[in-house]
Amino acid sequence: MKAQEKLQHELAGAPEILRQFLGYLQTIQGKSVLTVLEYYTDLRTFFRYLKRRANLVGADVPFSEIDISDVGLDLIRTVTLTQVYEYMNFLAIERGNGAAARSRKVCSLRTFFKYLTNKVNKLAVNPIEELDTPKLKKSLPKYLTLEQSLELLSKVDGPYAERDYCILTLFLNCGMRLSELVGINLSDVNRGSESLRIVGKGNKERIVYLNGACLDAIARYLAVRPRDGLKADDRNALFISKQMKRISPKTVQYLVKKYLGEIDLAQEGYSVHKLRHTAATLMYQHGNVDIRVLKDILGHENLGTTEIYTHLSDTQIADAMQSNPLANVKSRAPRPEPQPAPTPESPPSNKRTEQDGARKAAPKKSAPKRKSGEPSAE
């Protein structure tokens, strides 16, 4: 089922107020179908929680089967900031959501209540205006080194070797997202200008210029790409699956994981998205690409998002330390000679100890007595 068909299927059981909001996201704000589906999933969970908390469903009804089609403004107007924080606890404890998942749900709630308050004036006051976002752990994402990237490409084999090699090459050189790769059409490839048109988040287009590796991989794949027996809707798709239709995201994830497994990285937290991060890291570290150029290549809206791809490597940190103008300034005082350690053949002398013992054994001499009236030596 395609994304748009899945969205229409899900919206059949959604309340009117939610359908209007999702329509606003897609048609006015230009959100992609997958993004709209994520908003729907997040808000459906929230509405189910509201109904369960308000005892509007039986205790024996599984959470995943709670119907939200009857949710309206009357229930939404009862929402308070305290309730939303309780909802966050529910997500963390009962549903096992991490900080990243809860942060996304906070974003969905904020957008929804801002829409109700400022866009359609259904609410006089936004009850969650002061809602805080869960603090995310800042960690450096994983990426493949240059040597690992070359080894990954060397492992490509099998009946779809040209296709798989082309997919990996585009990931590692262009830094595109999974959804962007599977959405590439033949008409998006311009071999005359050596460029590729990519449709990113929110249907935003960008042009990526292809290097020699990408052009060669595309040419080799197009020479063996199926032409006959393709599904009518997928004849323009660049990458074709063995079912003779546009390759699916799951198929791409499977083949990437398979090749990562051949270089012992499948179980180390590496994934398709790590290839995007690898491309950005290699361009930044080895190509000295400006961060603003990198932002345009990756299709980021904000420069701050790109900064995560500019983390410093151990080599860069070492080079930075050596570039300090004081790095070669050393003390002019002569370096003290190291004292030799005592050895079993020459035990440490007990001369001081012997002298101390002799001093204690010597009898003390008494001071001469002073005559009366004689001044003291002090």
142 is catalytic: no
The confidence score (pLDDT) of residue 185 equals: 95
* Mean pLDDT by groups of 10 residues along the chain of 378 residues: 76 91 92 90 96 93 94 95 96 93 95 97 95 79 87 94 96 89 94 90 85 94 93 92 94 94 82 85 76 76 66 60 72 72 57 50 50 43
Active-site residue (options: 31, 274, 295, 300): 300
Does residue 358 belong to any structural domain of this protein? no
Q: Name 327's Cβ contacts closer than 8 Å, sequence gap at least 6.
A: 321
- Whether residue 364 lies inside any domain: the answer is no
Residue 197 lies in a domain: yes
Both 256 and 292 in one domain: the answer is yes
CB atoms within 10 A of CB 184: 23
We report the CATH number of the domain holding residue 308 as 1.10.443.10
Does one domain contain both 191 and 295? yes
Domain that holds residue 284: 146-315
Is 31 considered catalytic here?
no
Q: Indicate if 273 belongs to the active site.
A: yes
pLDDT of 33: 87
Regarding whether 202 and 156 lie in a shared domain, the answer is yes
DSSP tag of 272: H
Beta bridge partners of residue 208, listed in sequence order: 196
Q: Say whether both 42 and 77 belong to one domain.
A: yes
**Residue 347 belongs to some domain of the structure:** no
- Residues 156 and 212 occupy one common structural domain: yes
Query: What is the predicted pLDDT for the residue at 72?
Result: 94
pLDDT of residue 376: 43
- Determine the pLDDT at residue 311: 58
**51: annotated active-site residue:** no
- Whether 367 maps to a domain, the answer reads no
Question: What's phi and psi for 311, nearest 5 deg?
Answer: -65, 150
Q: Decide if 26 is inside a domain.
A: yes
Count structural domains, the chain.
2
Active site residue: 44, 177, 246, 295, which one? 177
Catalytic (active site) residue 201: yes
Out of 142, 155, 201, 225, the active site residue is: 201
Query: Half-sphere exposure of residue 115, counting CA atoms within 13 Å on the CB side?
Result: 19
Q: What is the pLDDT of residue 14?
A: 92
Tell me if 139 is assigned to some domain. no
Q: Indicate whether 90 belongs to any domain.
A: yes
Task: With both helix axes pointing from N to C terminus, report the angle between 161-174 and 146-154 in degrees, rounded to the nearest 10.
Answer: 160
Q: Which of 110, 197, 273, 311 is catalytic?
A: 273
Q: Are residues 191 and 286 part of one domain?
A: yes
pLDDT at 123: 96
**End-to-end alpha carbon distance in the chain:** 109
